[in-house]
Structure 1
Amino acid sequence: MNTIYYLASCDTCRKIIKSLPKGNALKFHDIKQDSITVAELEEMHRLSGSYEALFSRKAQLYKSMDLKNKALTEDDYKKYILEHYTFLSRPVFIIDDKIYIGNSQKNINEVLKVLNEKV
């Protein structure tokens, strides 16, 4: 199933969701209300190739926990993402077994293009 993992309280996520074409057939997964499961994260890892690609260095906890001064491993990235939703780079779209991570304009344009082709 095509899914968007997002944070409902995030202004950027809300803006992106508003820009999605109507009838997009996405399953909406608010990561704060419904935590990511190990299986979901492992699927994201399979599609992206690394946990680091899914990890957000913009998270407030990243700074407050002083993680930038630690040598994090793939296992660390996985652990932190599972421990707290804020460590997942958002939004994450999985569409037709392809993953789109983050809110860069290029990434969102690709998502919109794919979704518009499906509508």
Structure 2
Amino acid sequence: MVELYGLKNCDTCRKALKALPDAALVDVRADGVPAAVMAQAYAQFGDKLLNTRSTTWRGLDEGARAQDPLALLAEHPALMKRPLIAVGDRLFLGWSAETEAQVQSAR
């Protein structure tokens, strides 16, 4: 099963869903990301998991930005780079032709 963690109104997530019609969208604002998945993603991707170009990030003060990244993502799920795609126990971050090929081969 393919799970796509993202936002339903995110253009990049929509592109990924179109290419992966059997994927289940998990809206990170409404449903959140399971702590185990988020911990695995942070261990695998590190600070790349944070979208520091987002309007949410720009709205945070320095104190908030200095928080533990996992706590910050739990408080502000829209800060996560999207989409985060889970195929079995493998995770993929973002959406590009390369990512699409990797996800398709992992299925």
TM-score range for the pair, normalised by the shorter chain length:
0.7 to 0.9
Unaligned runs of 5+ in 2: none
TM-score normalized with structure 1 length: 0.71
2:60 is matched with which residue: 32, 54, 65?
65
Give TM-score, length-normalised by structure 2.
Answer: 0.77
How far apart are the structure 2 equivalents of 1:59 and 1:65? 10
Residues 1-119 of structure 1 correspond to what in structure 2 (within 5 A)? 2-20=2-20, 22=21, 24=22, 26-46=23-43, 48=44, 50=46, 52-67=47-62, 72=66, 76-115=68-107
Unpaired runs of 5+ residues, structure 1, are: none
Runs of 4+ in 1 over 4 A off after TM superposition: none
Structure number with larger C-alpha Rg:
1
Q: Check conservation: 1:37, 1:82, Cα contact below 8 A.
A: no
Over the residues paired in the alignment, what is the CA RMSD in angstroms?
Answer: 2.5
Aligned length: 106
